[in-house]
A and B are shown apart, each in its own frame.
Chain A
Protein backbone atom coordinates (compact mmCIF):
# COMPACT_ATOMS: atom_id res chain seq x y z
CA UNK A 1 0.00 0.00 0.00
CA UNK A 2 0.96 3.59 -0.44
CA UNK A 3 0.03 5.89 2.37
CA UNK A 4 0.98 9.24 3.75
CA UNK A 5 0.43 10.18 7.37
CA UNK A 6 2.44 13.22 8.34
CA UNK A 7 2.45 16.11 10.74
CA UNK A 8 4.67 19.13 10.51
CA UNK A 9 4.47 22.40 12.37
CA UNK A 10 5.90 25.13 10.18
CA UNK A 11 5.04 28.21 12.20
CA UNK A 12 2.81 29.20 15.09
CA UNK A 13 -0.09 29.69 12.66
CA UNK A 14 0.52 26.92 10.17
CA UNK A 15 0.77 23.19 10.69
CA UNK A 16 0.34 20.51 8.05
CA UNK A 17 -1.52 17.40 9.07
CA UNK A 18 -2.44 14.88 6.42
CA UNK A 19 -3.43 11.23 6.46
CA UNK A 20 -4.46 9.52 3.27
CA UNK A 21 -3.66 6.60 1.03
CA UNK A 22 -2.79 6.82 -2.64
CA UNK A 23 -4.56 4.85 -5.33
CA UNK A 24 -2.86 3.48 -8.44
CA UNK A 25 -4.04 6.34 -10.65
CA UNK A 26 -3.62 10.06 -10.53
CA UNK A 27 -4.43 11.80 -7.25
CA UNK A 28 -4.96 15.54 -7.46
CA UNK A 29 -4.26 17.73 -4.44
CA UNK A 30 -6.46 20.78 -4.74
CA UNK A 31 -6.02 23.80 -2.57
CA UNK A 32 -5.34 27.53 -2.55
CA UNK A 33 -1.76 28.83 -2.49
CA UNK A 34 -0.36 28.33 0.98
CA UNK A 35 -2.52 25.31 1.76
CA UNK A 36 0.56 23.09 2.07
CA UNK A 37 0.48 21.23 -1.25
CA UNK A 38 4.15 21.80 -2.06
CA UNK A 39 5.25 20.97 1.47
CA UNK A 40 3.30 17.71 1.35
CA UNK A 41 4.91 16.72 -1.95
CA UNK A 42 8.35 17.66 -0.65
CA UNK A 43 7.86 15.51 2.43
CA UNK A 44 7.02 12.52 0.23
CA UNK A 45 10.03 13.29 -1.99
CA UNK A 46 12.33 13.54 1.00
CA UNK A 47 13.15 17.21 0.51
CA UNK A 48 11.35 18.19 3.72
CA UNK A 49 11.22 16.21 6.96
CA UNK A 50 7.92 15.72 8.81
CA UNK A 51 7.84 16.14 12.60
CA UNK A 52 6.10 12.81 12.93
CA UNK A 53 4.20 10.27 10.90
CA UNK A 54 4.92 7.57 8.38
CA UNK A 55 5.18 7.47 4.61
CA UNK A 56 4.81 4.18 2.78
CA UNK A 57 5.35 3.62 -0.92
CA UNK A 58 4.38 0.16 -2.17
CA UNK A 59 4.85 -1.12 1.41
CA UNK A 60 8.38 0.26 1.58
CA UNK A 61 8.90 2.64 4.48
CA UNK A 62 10.23 5.96 3.23
CA UNK A 63 9.80 7.77 6.51
CA UNK A 64 8.88 6.68 10.00
CA UNK A 65 9.11 9.22 12.79
CA UNK A 66 9.07 6.67 15.61
CA UNK A 67 11.51 4.20 14.06
CA UNK A 68 13.67 7.12 12.87
CA UNK A 69 13.64 5.99 9.27
CA UNK A 70 14.20 8.80 6.79
CA UNK A 71 15.38 7.64 3.39
CA UNK A 72 17.33 10.16 1.31
CA UNK A 73 15.46 11.43 -1.78
CA UNK A 74 17.42 9.32 -4.24
CA UNK A 75 16.43 6.05 -2.52
CA UNK A 76 12.72 6.84 -2.29
CA UNK A 77 11.76 5.92 -5.81
CA UNK A 78 10.01 9.24 -6.38
CA UNK A 79 10.28 11.51 -9.38
CA UNK A 80 9.63 15.17 -8.65
CA UNK A 81 8.58 17.93 -11.03
CA UNK A 82 8.74 21.22 -9.19
CA UNK A 83 6.41 24.16 -9.62
CA UNK A 84 9.05 26.56 -10.89
CA UNK A 85 11.39 25.84 -13.74
CA UNK A 86 14.39 24.13 -12.16
CA UNK A 87 16.45 22.89 -15.09
CA UNK A 88 20.08 23.87 -14.59
CA UNK A 89 20.48 27.06 -16.66
CA UNK A 90 24.14 26.52 -17.58
CA UNK A 91 23.61 23.07 -19.07
CA UNK A 92 21.83 21.95 -22.21
CA UNK A 93 18.66 19.89 -21.96
CA UNK A 94 20.71 16.80 -22.86
CA UNK A 95 23.25 17.58 -20.11
CA UNK A 96 20.44 18.17 -17.64
CA UNK A 97 19.08 14.70 -18.31
CA UNK A 98 22.59 13.25 -18.22
CA UNK A 99 23.17 14.76 -14.79
CA UNK A 100 19.96 13.19 -13.48
CA UNK A 101 21.06 9.80 -14.84
CA UNK A 102 24.68 10.03 -13.77
CA UNK A 103 24.46 7.17 -11.26
CA UNK A 104 23.99 4.73 -14.16
CA UNK A 105 26.97 3.32 -16.06
CA UNK A 106 27.99 5.22 -19.17
CA UNK A 107 26.21 3.17 -21.84
CA UNK A 108 23.05 2.77 -19.79
CA UNK A 109 23.07 6.49 -19.07
CA UNK A 110 23.39 7.32 -22.75
CA UNK A 111 20.55 4.94 -23.62
CA UNK A 112 18.28 6.44 -20.98
CA UNK A 113 18.94 10.02 -22.02
CA UNK A 114 18.44 9.22 -25.71
CA UNK A 115 15.18 7.42 -24.91
CA UNK A 116 13.92 10.29 -22.77
CA UNK A 117 14.77 12.77 -25.53
CA UNK A 118 12.80 10.65 -27.99
CA UNK A 119 9.81 9.94 -25.72
CA UNK A 120 9.36 13.57 -24.85
CA UNK A 121 10.13 14.87 -28.38
CA UNK A 122 13.06 16.98 -27.26
CA UNK A 123 15.29 16.13 -30.23
CA UNK A 124 15.14 19.64 -31.64
CA UNK A 125 16.26 21.37 -28.45
CA UNK A 126 18.49 18.76 -26.79
CA UNK A 127 21.57 20.86 -27.52
CA UNK A 128 20.00 24.11 -26.29
CA UNK A 129 20.18 25.58 -22.84
CA UNK A 130 16.86 26.01 -21.01
CA UNK A 131 16.79 29.77 -21.62
CA UNK A 132 17.06 29.15 -25.38
CA UNK A 133 14.32 26.51 -25.57
CA UNK A 134 10.58 27.04 -25.31
CA UNK A 135 8.52 26.77 -22.14
CA UNK A 136 6.83 23.60 -23.39
CA UNK A 137 10.19 21.93 -24.05
CA UNK A 138 11.44 22.94 -20.62
CA UNK A 139 8.39 21.41 -18.98
CA UNK A 140 8.70 18.18 -20.98
CA UNK A 141 12.39 18.06 -20.10
CA UNK A 142 11.59 18.50 -16.39
CA UNK A 143 9.21 15.56 -16.61
CA UNK A 144 11.75 13.48 -18.53
CA UNK A 145 14.32 14.30 -15.86
CA UNK A 146 11.95 13.22 -13.09
CA UNK A 147 11.21 9.94 -14.88
CA UNK A 148 14.72 9.06 -16.03
CA UNK A 149 15.48 7.06 -12.89
CA UNK A 150 12.28 5.00 -13.39
CA UNK A 151 10.53 6.11 -10.20
CA UNK A 152 7.66 4.25 -8.58
CA UNK A 153 5.69 7.43 -7.88
CA UNK A 154 5.66 10.70 -9.77
CA UNK A 155 5.15 13.89 -7.78
CA UNK A 156 4.12 16.91 -9.82
CA UNK A 157 3.77 20.32 -8.26
CA UNK A 158 1.33 22.47 -10.22
CA UNK A 159 3.81 22.78 -13.05
CA UNK A 160 1.35 23.79 -15.75
CA UNK A 161 0.44 20.32 -16.97
CA UNK A 162 -2.46 19.85 -19.38
CA UNK A 163 -4.49 16.87 -20.50
CA UNK A 164 -2.28 16.16 -23.52
CA UNK A 165 0.82 16.15 -21.36
CA UNK A 166 -0.77 13.64 -19.01
CA UNK A 167 -1.45 11.45 -22.04
CA UNK A 168 2.23 11.67 -22.97
CA UNK A 169 3.31 10.86 -19.41
CA UNK A 170 0.94 7.90 -19.25
CA UNK A 171 2.44 6.27 -22.34
CA UNK A 172 5.84 6.14 -20.62
CA UNK A 173 4.96 5.92 -16.96
CA UNK A 174 2.19 3.74 -15.55
CA UNK A 175 2.74 4.24 -11.83
CA UNK A 176 0.73 6.41 -9.47
CA UNK A 177 0.95 10.20 -9.76
CA UNK A 178 0.38 12.66 -6.95
CA UNK A 179 -0.07 16.14 -8.34
CA UNK A 180 -0.79 19.48 -6.79
CA UNK A 181 -3.15 21.55 -8.89
CA UNK A 182 -5.23 24.66 -8.82
CA UNK A 183 -7.16 23.81 -11.96
CA UNK A 184 -10.33 21.88 -11.10
CA UNK A 185 -10.99 21.09 -14.77
CA UNK A 186 -7.61 19.44 -15.16
CA UNK A 187 -8.12 17.48 -11.94
CA UNK A 188 -11.48 16.27 -13.26
CA UNK A 189 -10.04 15.30 -16.65
CA UNK A 190 -6.93 13.56 -15.47
CA UNK A 191 -7.33 12.46 -11.88
CA UNK A 192 -9.07 9.40 -10.53
CA UNK A 193 -8.95 10.72 -7.00
CA UNK A 194 -9.05 14.17 -5.51
CA UNK A 195 -8.04 15.52 -2.12
CA UNK A 196 -9.02 19.02 -1.04
CA UNK A 197 -6.35 20.63 1.10
CA UNK A 198 -7.10 23.74 3.11
CA UNK A 199 -4.74 25.38 5.57
CA UNK A 200 -2.70 22.24 6.07
CA UNK A 201 -5.61 19.84 6.41
CA UNK A 202 -7.27 17.43 4.01
CA UNK A 203 -10.91 18.52 4.20
CA UNK A 204 -12.32 15.96 1.77
CA UNK A 205 -11.18 13.28 -0.60
CA UNK A 206 -12.77 10.90 -3.07
CA UNK A 207 -13.54 10.59 -6.75
CA UNK A 208 -13.41 14.04 -8.38
CA UNK A 209 -17.09 13.94 -9.42
CA UNK A 210 -18.22 12.99 -5.91
CA UNK A 211 -16.08 15.62 -4.25
CA UNK A 212 -17.24 18.32 -6.62
CA UNK A 213 -20.92 17.36 -6.40
CA UNK A 214 -21.13 16.61 -2.71
CA UNK A 215 -18.83 18.85 -0.73
CA UNK A 216 -18.73 17.69 2.86
CA UNK A 217 -17.86 20.97 4.52
CA UNK A 218 -18.12 24.67 3.75
CA UNK A 219 -14.34 24.81 3.08
CA UNK A 220 -14.66 21.88 0.72
CA UNK A 221 -17.46 23.65 -1.13
CA UNK A 222 -15.34 26.76 -1.45
CA UNK A 223 -12.38 24.75 -2.78
CA UNK A 224 -14.65 22.80 -5.11
CA UNK A 225 -15.54 26.03 -6.79
CA UNK A 226 -19.00 26.82 -5.36
CA UNK A 227 -19.24 30.56 -5.88
CA UNK A 228 -22.37 30.94 -3.75
CA UNK A 229 -22.17 29.82 -0.17
CA UNK A 230 -24.49 31.05 2.56
CA UNK A 231 -25.34 30.09 6.08
CA UNK A 232 -29.04 29.56 6.71
CA UNK A 233 -31.27 28.82 9.69
CA UNK A 234 -33.85 26.05 9.52
CA UNK A 235 -37.25 27.65 10.14
CA UNK A 236 -39.57 24.81 9.12
CA UNK A 237 -39.13 21.04 9.18
CA UNK A 238 -42.05 19.09 7.68
CA UNK A 239 -41.37 15.40 7.28
CA UNK A 240 -44.79 14.58 5.86
CA UNK A 241 -44.47 17.12 3.05
CA UNK A 242 -40.73 16.32 2.69
CA UNK A 243 -40.02 20.01 3.07
CA UNK A 244 -37.70 22.24 5.03
CA UNK A 245 -37.42 25.97 4.88
CA UNK A 246 -34.20 27.87 5.34
CA UNK A 247 -33.86 31.52 6.24
CA UNK A 248 -30.74 32.85 4.57
CA UNK A 249 -30.40 36.47 5.51
CA UNK A 250 -32.67 38.35 3.14
CA UNK A 251 -34.47 35.42 1.57
CA UNK A 252 -35.89 31.94 2.25
CA UNK A 253 -35.35 28.69 0.38
CA UNK A 254 -37.42 25.49 0.27
CA UNK A 255 -35.39 22.32 0.30
CA UNK A 256 -36.19 18.63 0.88
CA UNK A 257 -36.71 17.46 4.48
CA UNK A 258 -33.45 17.45 6.43
CA UNK A 259 -33.29 14.42 8.69
CA UNK A 260 -31.35 14.70 11.89
CA UNK A 261 -31.77 18.44 12.24
CA UNK A 262 -33.78 20.63 14.56
CA UNK A 263 -35.54 23.90 13.92
CA UNK A 264 -33.07 26.72 14.47
CA UNK A 265 -30.05 24.68 13.32
CA UNK A 266 -27.59 26.52 11.12
CA UNK A 267 -26.60 24.82 7.86
CA UNK A 268 -24.57 25.89 4.85
CA UNK A 269 -26.21 26.19 1.45
CA UNK A 270 -24.04 26.12 -1.67
CA UNK A 271 -24.88 26.49 -5.33
CA UNK A 272 -22.68 26.93 -8.37
CA UNK A 273 -22.97 30.18 -10.29
CA UNK A 274 -23.84 28.24 -13.45
CA UNK A 275 -26.83 26.61 -11.70
CA UNK A 276 -28.44 29.87 -10.62
CA UNK A 277 -31.11 30.86 -13.15
CA UNK A 278 -31.87 34.53 -13.55
CA UNK A 279 -35.39 35.19 -14.88
CA UNK A 280 -37.36 38.28 -15.71
CA UNK A 281 -38.92 39.75 -12.62
CA UNK A 282 -42.35 39.69 -14.30
CA UNK A 283 -42.30 35.92 -14.98
CA UNK A 284 -44.82 33.80 -13.03
CA UNK A 285 -43.91 33.02 -9.39
CA UNK A 286 -42.31 29.68 -8.58
CA UNK A 287 -40.68 28.06 -5.55
CA UNK A 288 -37.19 29.26 -4.68
CA UNK A 289 -37.41 32.37 -6.79
CA UNK A 290 -36.25 35.53 -5.09
CA UNK A 291 -36.00 39.08 -6.35
CA UNK A 292 -32.44 40.30 -6.62
CA UNK A 293 -30.65 43.52 -7.34
CA UNK A 294 -28.20 43.31 -10.22
CA UNK A 295 -24.92 45.03 -9.39
CA UNK A 296 -22.53 44.19 -12.17
CA UNK A 297 -22.27 42.34 -15.47
CA UNK A 298 -18.88 40.87 -16.32
CA UNK A 299 -18.29 39.41 -19.78
CA UNK A 300 -16.14 36.28 -19.99
CA UNK A 301 -14.81 34.34 -22.93
CA UNK A 302 -17.65 31.81 -23.12
CA UNK A 303 -20.17 33.16 -20.65
CA UNK A 304 -21.51 36.18 -18.82
CA UNK A 305 -21.20 36.57 -15.08
CA UNK A 306 -23.90 38.49 -13.23
CA UNK A 307 -23.22 39.75 -9.75
CA UNK A 308 -26.18 40.46 -7.51
CA UNK A 309 -26.49 41.95 -4.07
CA UNK A 310 -26.16 39.33 -1.42
CA UNK A 311 -23.63 38.62 -2.82
CA UNK A 312 -24.98 36.10 -5.31
CA UNK A 313 -23.19 35.21 -8.52
CA UNK A 314 -24.85 33.73 -11.59
CA UNK A 315 -23.14 32.56 -14.73
CA UNK A 316 -25.04 32.36 -18.03
CA UNK A 317 -24.12 31.15 -21.46
CA UNK A 318 -24.07 33.87 -24.09
CA UNK A 319 -27.35 32.67 -25.58
CA UNK A 320 -29.07 32.54 -22.17
CA UNK A 321 -27.87 36.05 -21.50
CA UNK A 322 -29.18 37.23 -24.85
CA UNK A 323 -32.57 35.63 -24.07
CA UNK A 324 -32.90 37.83 -21.00
CA UNK A 325 -33.03 40.82 -23.33
CA UNK A 326 -32.52 44.31 -22.01
CA UNK A 327 -34.73 43.67 -19.04
CA UNK A 328 -32.26 43.83 -16.17
CA UNK A 329 -34.94 43.79 -13.51
CA UNK A 330 -34.40 40.20 -12.56
CA UNK A 331 -35.27 37.56 -10.04
CA UNK A 332 -33.21 34.48 -9.32
CA UNK A 333 -34.31 30.87 -9.33
CA UNK A 334 -32.36 28.33 -7.29
CA UNK A 335 -33.28 24.91 -8.71
CA UNK A 336 -33.73 22.51 -5.81
CA UNK A 337 -31.60 19.76 -7.38
CA UNK A 338 -28.62 22.13 -7.62
CA UNK A 339 -28.71 23.31 -4.01
CA UNK A 340 -26.16 21.59 -1.79
CA UNK A 341 -26.86 21.47 1.92
CA UNK A 342 -23.84 21.14 4.15
CA UNK A 343 -24.32 20.45 7.85
Chain B
Protein backbone atom coordinates (compact mmCIF):
# COMPACT_ATOMS: atom_id res chain seq x y z
CA UNK B 1 0.00 0.00 0.00
CA UNK B 2 1.41 3.37 -0.94
CA UNK B 3 1.25 6.26 1.52
CA UNK B 4 -1.06 9.20 0.90
CA UNK B 5 1.32 12.10 0.22
CA UNK B 6 -1.41 14.72 -0.26
CA UNK B 7 -0.92 16.15 3.29
CA UNK B 8 2.67 17.09 2.35
CA UNK B 9 1.58 18.91 -0.82
CA UNK B 10 -1.25 20.60 1.05
CA UNK B 11 0.95 21.85 3.86
CA UNK B 12 3.69 22.92 1.44
CA UNK B 13 1.25 24.89 -0.69
CA UNK B 14 -0.36 26.55 2.34
CA UNK B 15 2.94 27.36 4.06
CA UNK B 16 4.57 28.79 0.92
CA UNK B 17 1.57 30.95 0.08
CA UNK B 18 1.23 32.17 3.65
CA UNK B 19 4.90 33.11 4.03
CA UNK B 20 5.14 34.82 0.63
CA UNK B 21 1.93 36.79 1.22
CA UNK B 22 3.08 37.80 4.70
CA UNK B 23 6.41 38.92 3.26
CA UNK B 24 4.63 41.05 0.68
CA UNK B 25 2.07 42.55 3.04
CA UNK B 26 3.82 43.10 6.38
CA UNK B 27 7.03 45.19 5.91
CA UNK B 28 5.46 48.47 4.73
CA UNK B 29 2.98 48.82 7.64
CA UNK B 30 5.79 47.63 9.91
CA UNK B 31 7.92 50.57 8.72
CA UNK B 32 5.07 53.02 9.33
CA UNK B 33 4.46 51.53 12.78
CA UNK B 34 8.17 51.56 13.65
CA UNK B 35 8.14 55.35 13.75
CA UNK B 36 4.93 55.75 15.70
CA UNK B 37 3.74 54.46 19.01
CA UNK B 38 0.40 52.74 18.76
CA UNK B 39 0.25 50.39 21.74
CA UNK B 40 -3.18 48.95 20.85
CA UNK B 41 -2.03 47.79 17.41
CA UNK B 42 1.23 46.47 18.85
CA UNK B 43 -0.62 44.47 21.50
CA UNK B 44 -3.17 43.19 18.99
CA UNK B 45 -0.35 42.05 16.69
CA UNK B 46 1.37 40.30 19.57
CA UNK B 47 -1.87 38.54 20.53
CA UNK B 48 -2.69 37.41 16.97
CA UNK B 49 0.89 36.21 16.46
CA UNK B 50 0.42 33.72 19.28
CA UNK B 51 -2.89 32.19 18.09
CA UNK B 52 -2.61 28.81 16.31
CA UNK B 53 -5.24 29.94 13.81
CA UNK B 54 -4.87 27.06 11.35
CA UNK B 55 -5.65 24.47 14.03
CA UNK B 56 -8.56 26.55 15.27
CA UNK B 57 -9.88 26.83 11.70
CA UNK B 58 -9.53 23.10 11.09
CA UNK B 59 -11.78 22.45 14.08
CA UNK B 60 -14.20 25.34 13.56
CA UNK B 61 -14.53 25.71 9.79
CA UNK B 62 -17.27 23.64 8.15
CA UNK B 63 -14.90 22.50 5.38
CA UNK B 64 -11.13 22.63 5.94
CA UNK B 65 -10.01 23.42 2.37
CA UNK B 66 -6.63 24.89 1.45
CA UNK B 67 -7.90 28.49 0.92
CA UNK B 68 -9.35 28.36 4.42
CA UNK B 69 -5.99 27.15 5.73
CA UNK B 70 -4.15 29.98 3.93
CA UNK B 71 -6.54 32.59 5.28
CA UNK B 72 -6.18 31.19 8.79
CA UNK B 73 -2.40 31.03 8.44
CA UNK B 74 -2.28 34.69 7.46
CA UNK B 75 -4.13 35.70 10.61
CA UNK B 76 -1.03 34.69 12.49
CA UNK B 77 1.70 35.14 9.88
CA UNK B 78 1.08 38.79 9.01
CA UNK B 79 1.15 40.12 12.60
CA UNK B 80 4.18 37.95 13.33
CA UNK B 81 6.16 39.20 10.32
CA UNK B 82 5.00 42.72 11.02
CA UNK B 83 6.18 42.64 14.64
CA UNK B 84 9.55 41.15 13.69
CA UNK B 85 10.11 43.72 10.91
CA UNK B 86 8.95 46.53 13.15
CA UNK B 87 11.52 45.59 15.79
CA UNK B 88 14.26 45.53 13.17
CA UNK B 89 13.18 48.82 11.59
CA UNK B 90 13.16 50.49 14.98
CA UNK B 91 16.86 49.77 15.32
CA UNK B 92 17.59 51.61 12.06
CA UNK B 93 20.06 54.39 12.82
CA UNK B 94 18.00 57.61 13.15
CA UNK B 95 20.96 59.50 11.71
CA UNK B 96 20.41 57.78 8.35
CA UNK B 97 16.73 58.69 8.41
CA UNK B 98 17.50 62.33 9.24
CA UNK B 99 20.13 62.53 6.49
CA UNK B 100 17.60 61.14 4.04
CA UNK B 101 14.90 63.56 5.18
CA UNK B 102 17.30 66.48 4.71
CA UNK B 103 17.39 65.59 1.00
CA UNK B 104 13.61 65.43 0.78
CA UNK B 105 13.13 61.67 0.95
CA UNK B 106 9.58 60.51 1.66
CA UNK B 107 8.65 57.66 3.99
CA UNK B 108 8.36 55.38 0.96
CA UNK B 109 11.79 56.39 -0.39
CA UNK B 110 13.38 55.81 3.00
CA UNK B 111 11.62 52.44 3.21
CA UNK B 112 13.01 51.33 -0.16
CA UNK B 113 16.50 52.80 0.09
CA UNK B 114 17.30 52.39 3.77
CA UNK B 115 14.91 50.26 5.80
CA UNK B 116 14.59 47.31 3.40
CA UNK B 117 18.25 47.01 2.33
CA UNK B 118 19.59 47.49 5.86
CA UNK B 119 17.01 45.71 8.01
CA UNK B 120 14.83 43.83 5.53
CA UNK B 121 16.39 40.50 6.47
CA UNK B 122 14.29 40.45 9.62
CA UNK B 123 11.19 40.16 7.43
CA UNK B 124 12.80 37.34 5.43
CA UNK B 125 13.73 35.58 8.64
CA UNK B 126 10.21 35.98 10.00
CA UNK B 127 8.79 34.62 6.73
CA UNK B 128 11.04 31.56 6.99
CA UNK B 129 9.85 30.98 10.55
CA UNK B 130 6.26 31.46 9.44
CA UNK B 131 6.82 28.87 6.72
CA UNK B 132 8.12 26.30 9.18
CA UNK B 133 5.42 26.93 11.73
CA UNK B 134 2.61 26.87 9.19
CA UNK B 135 3.85 23.53 7.84
CA UNK B 136 3.69 22.07 11.33
CA UNK B 137 0.35 23.65 12.07
CA UNK B 138 -1.26 22.21 8.96
CA UNK B 139 0.22 18.84 9.83
CA UNK B 140 -1.22 18.99 13.34
CA UNK B 141 -4.60 20.06 11.97
CA UNK B 142 -4.61 17.10 9.54
CA UNK B 143 -3.51 14.75 12.29
CA UNK B 144 -6.40 15.91 14.46
CA UNK B 145 -8.91 15.13 11.70
CA UNK B 146 -7.15 11.83 11.14
CA UNK B 147 -5.80 12.38 7.64
CA UNK B 148 -2.08 12.16 8.39
CA UNK B 149 0.05 9.02 8.08
CA UNK B 150 3.67 8.59 9.16
CA UNK B 151 5.68 9.04 5.92
CA UNK B 152 4.27 12.49 4.98
CA UNK B 153 4.46 13.55 8.62
CA UNK B 154 8.20 12.83 8.58
CA UNK B 155 8.62 14.77 5.33
CA UNK B 156 6.67 17.72 6.73
CA UNK B 157 8.79 17.71 9.85
CA UNK B 158 12.00 17.70 7.78
CA UNK B 159 10.76 20.58 5.58
CA UNK B 160 9.77 22.59 8.63
CA UNK B 161 13.22 21.99 10.12
CA UNK B 162 14.78 23.22 6.89
CA UNK B 163 12.68 26.39 7.17
CA UNK B 164 13.83 26.93 10.74
CA UNK B 165 17.44 26.36 9.71
CA UNK B 166 17.06 29.01 7.01
CA UNK B 167 15.63 31.40 9.61
CA UNK B 168 18.56 30.73 11.94
CA UNK B 169 21.04 31.30 9.12
CA UNK B 170 19.34 34.59 8.22
CA UNK B 171 19.54 35.63 11.85
CA UNK B 172 23.29 34.96 11.95
CA UNK B 173 23.83 36.81 8.68
CA UNK B 174 21.85 39.78 9.99
CA UNK B 175 24.05 39.86 13.09
CA UNK B 176 27.19 39.83 10.96
CA UNK B 177 25.87 42.72 8.85
CA UNK B 178 24.95 44.73 11.92
CA UNK B 179 28.52 44.32 13.20
CA UNK B 180 29.91 45.31 9.81
CA UNK B 181 27.84 48.50 9.87
CA UNK B 182 29.84 49.92 12.74
CA UNK B 183 32.63 50.83 10.36
CA UNK B 184 36.29 50.97 11.17
Contacts and interface: CB of A to CB of B under 8 A. Distances in A.
Contact of A88 (B101, B113, B182, B184): B113
A100 B103 contact: yes
B102 A99 contact: no
A73 interface: yes
A84 B184 CA distance: 13
A89 B98 contact: no
A103 B183 contact: no
A103 B103 contact: yes
A131 interface: yes
Interface in A37-87: 42, 45-47, 72-75, 78-80, 82, 84-87
Interface in A190-235: none
Contacts of B183: 85, 89, 130-131, 138
A102 interface: yes
Report the contact-size class of chain B (Cβ under 8 Å from the partner): 10 to 19
Given A86-B93, A88-B114, A145 B104 contact: no
B117 interface: yes
B99 A103 contact: no
A86 B117 contact: no
Given A85-B95, A131-B180, A80 B102 contact: yes
Contact of B181 (A80, A89, A102, A138): A89
A90 interface: yes
Among A42, A79, A88, A132: residue with most chain B CB under 10 A: A88
Interface of A: 42, 45-47, 72-75, 78-80, 82, 84-90, 99-103, 130-132, 138, 145-146, 149
29 contacts: A45-B102, A46-B101, A72-B101, A73-B104, A74-B101, A74-B103, A75-B104, A80-B102, A82-B98, A84-B93, A85-B183, A86-B93, A86-B99, A88-B96, A88-B113, A89-B181, A90-B117, A90-B118, A99-B100, A99-B103, A99-B113, A100-B102, A100-B103, A103-B103, A131-B181, A131-B182, A131-B183, A131-B184, A146-B102
Interface of B: 93, 95-96, 98-104, 113-114, 117-118, 180-184
